[in-house]
Chains A and B, each alone.
Chain A
């Protein structure tokens, strides 16, 4: 297998990977290679034809496609070697300054030996099996991402009457998109007593079109032999168990599965990186470095981001860290403090802090609340939050000197 030595290998060409490759190249990192398994770059952006991207960073609202072209143009103008249709099948950690990646392309297989890696392979969608939906397996059961790609990249209408399982942003956006194409969306079904997506999307995707949202409901089973004919839906009790007496049948020919995303970490885990069960992504320090020195993670492969700007800034930070790693031959050793995830929170990223630099924490609340306070008792820090939603990532920046002086760190939401 031909082997290429590179300084930085970026795995994944979505917004996080594109931002990483561009930043690294601008900083002067030589031999930057970006690989993506799809035919075009941009990750999930090209299949997102709706607006809502880039407002915070660029001051104007773009569609996913528009932002993708902007990011791709930037990378094309820089000295970045791009491989598309290049599927990374294995990664390995050889030594401090050598990580390997085996990549399959239509032009053959390659091995890269990289001083540093930014891993930005994004997330995969949870399947109907993971959502516990039983019954037959006819045509007409698709994930939300498959529906988006079918309709908006390939121009194929996936059905006529739909039920959407899951009310995260992805499910809400797909429900609106189907409606605009004349598909009747009979219900969006959500297990929790509150919608999973941003309020903006509940209003603009469901309320605008009078699409029913069934909270505290679950899709139990699919019925149909060749094609979906109906789904069974039931209300759940407070333990999220279906109540038998509430089961009802909704006729439809399309079931859209939008029950969440999971970071794609198989390659990282295979190379020996430590995974955080709370995020499903790797454990990282404030440089976004995984437990493998010189291997950094960013974007949805690190933690599921609802805002593309967060994925991009993680990509840029990972690139800056890779640059420093190459220049200095690694980071000074430090005593890393593990951030403890207190009440009211699902996770905190990065998980390990030492106080080399100011650090932006990404946190997600366990449940919605009003007038909450975010506390770090060890620092005497308390931040008021008027309204907290699990759908919206909370961010908090800590000063290096504060981290340095703290013995331990706990973050909680009360």
Chain B
């Protein structure tokens, strides 16, 4: 039998759920409402999160651009995915929503920019000085 402790985060009550599996039968206990039941199963069977990080930008007004995965990815792959992005760079300008890398770790998710970064202009001008 497998037993997984999950905290439901769908509402402030924060029920402590116990999810058990025996011969392919899943059971959730401790939920205060139906939403917690579904959440408990999802968290036990397939926990996933959106990965967020930053990627270096060449010739940009700022040196890095924040990015996220286009979909949540399995929780246990977050650190691996974060490492897999090391070495990735992008050239300015970058638009919000621009796809920076495709099919991360063959998971069928993309890496998407969450901020627009302009190309670097003349430094003096960028600082707004005469």
> What would 13 more interface pairs be, CB under 8 Å, given A63-B66, A182-B83?
A49-B115, A63-B114, A65-B114, A66-B115, A106-B127, A152-B54, A153-B64, A181-B53, A199-B12, A203-B9, A207-B7, A208-B49, A386-B13
Chain B 10-42, CB-CB to A under 8 Å as 1, else 0, gives 011110000000000000000000000000000
Contact residues in A for B54 (Cβ distance below 8 Å): 49, 151-152, 155
Top 5 A-B pairs ranked by shortest CB distance?
A: A155-B64, A49-B66, A65-B115, A200-B9, A199-B14
Is B115 within 8 A of A154, CB to CB? no
A125 within 8 A of B: no
Size category of the A interface is 35 or more
Chain A 12-44, CB-CB to B under 8 Å as 1, else 0, gives 000000000000000000000000000000000
Chain B 63-76, CB-CB to A under 8 Å as 1, else 0, gives 11010100000010
Is A63 within 8 A of B52, CB to CB? yes
B68, B114, B116: residue with the most chain A Cβ atoms closer than 10 Å = B114
A165 to B9, CA, bound (A): 24
A106-B128, A152-B64, A389-B12 known; A51-B52 Cβ under 8 A: yes
A177 to B66, CA, bound (A): 12
Chain A 104-129, CB-CB to B under 8 Å as 1, else 0, gives 00110000000000000000000000
A199-B12, A204-B9 known; A85-B128 Cβ under 8 A: yes
Is A49 within 8 A of B12, CB to CB? no
Chain A 58-87, CB-CB to B under 8 Å as 1, else 0, gives 000001011011000000000000000100
B79 within 8 A of A: yes
Q: Interface of B with A (CB < 8 Å)? A: 7, 9, 11-14, 49-54, 56, 62-64, 66, 68, 75, 78-79, 82-83, 96, 114-116, 127-129
- Whose C-beta in chain A lies nearest to the C-beta of B54? A152
Contact residues in B for A51 (Cβ distance below 8 Å): 50, 52, 68
A232 to B96, CA, bound (A): 43
Is B14 within 8 A of A154, CB to CB? no
A36 to B51, CA, bound (A): 31
Is A180 within 8 A of B66, CB to CB? no
Contact residues in B for A146 (Cβ distance below 8 Å): none
- Whose C-beta in chain A lies nearest to the C-beta of B13? A387
- Whose C-beta in chain A lies nearest to the C-beta of B47? A208
Partner of A199 from B9, B115, B128 at Cβ < 8 Å:
B9
Is B12 within 8 A of A66, CB to CB? no
A202 to B7, CA, bound (A): 10
Contact residues in B for A46 (Cβ distance below 8 Å): 115
Is A154 within 8 A of B64, CB to CB? yes
Is A155 within 8 A of B56, CB to CB? yes
A102 within 8 A of B: no
Partner of B82 from A49, A153, A180, A203 at Cβ < 8 Å:
A180
- The minimal Cβ–Cβ distance linking B18 to chain A, given in whole angstroms, is 15
Is B116 within 8 A of A155, CB to CB? no
B82, B115, B127, B128: residue with the most chain A Cβ atoms closer than 10 Å = B115
Chain A 193-216, CB-CB to B under 8 Å as 1, else 0, gives 000001110111001100000000
A266 within 8 A of B: no
Contact residues in B for A106 (Cβ distance below 8 Å): 127-129
- Whose C-beta in chain A lies nearest to the C-beta of B51? A180
A386 to B8, CA, bound (A): 15
A50 within 8 A of B: yes
- The minimal Cβ–Cβ distance linking B75 to chain A, given in whole angstroms, is 6
- Whose C-beta in chain A lies nearest to the C-beta of B83? A182
Is B66 within 8 A of A152, CB to CB? yes
A107-B128, A153-B62 known; A66-B96 Cβ under 8 A: yes
A155 to B90, CA, bound (A): 14
- Whose C-beta in chain B lies nearest to the C-beta of A155? B64
A392 within 8 A of B: yes
- The minimal Cβ–Cβ distance linking A164 to chain B, given in whole angstroms, is 18
- The minimal Cβ–Cβ distance linking B128 to chain A, given in whole angstroms, is 5
- Whose C-beta in chain A lies nearest to the C-beta of B127? A106
A180-B82, A387-B12 known; A199-B7 Cβ under 8 A: yes
Contact residues in A for B114 (Cβ distance below 8 Å): 49, 63, 65-66
- The minimal Cβ–Cβ distance linking A371 to chain B, given in whole angstroms, is 10
- The minimal Cβ–Cβ distance linking B39 to chain A, given in whole angstroms, is 11
Is A208 within 8 A of B75, CB to CB? yes
- The minimal Cβ–Cβ distance linking A208 to chain B, given in whole angstroms, is 6
- The minimal Cβ–Cβ distance linking A181 to chain B, given in whole angstroms, is 7
A-B contact pairs, 25 of them (CB 8 A): A49-B52, A49-B54, A49-B66, A51-B50, A51-B52, A63-B52, A63-B114, A66-B115, A85-B128, A106-B129, A107-B128, A152-B64, A153-B62, A155-B54, A155-B56, A155-B63, A180-B79, A181-B82, A199-B12, A208-B75, A386-B13, A387-B11, A387-B12, A387-B13, A389-B12
Contact residues in B for A207 (Cβ distance below 8 Å): 7
- The minimal Cβ–Cβ distance linking B114 to chain A, given in whole angstroms, is 5
A245 to B129, CA, bound (A): 58
A180 to B79, CA, bound (A): 6
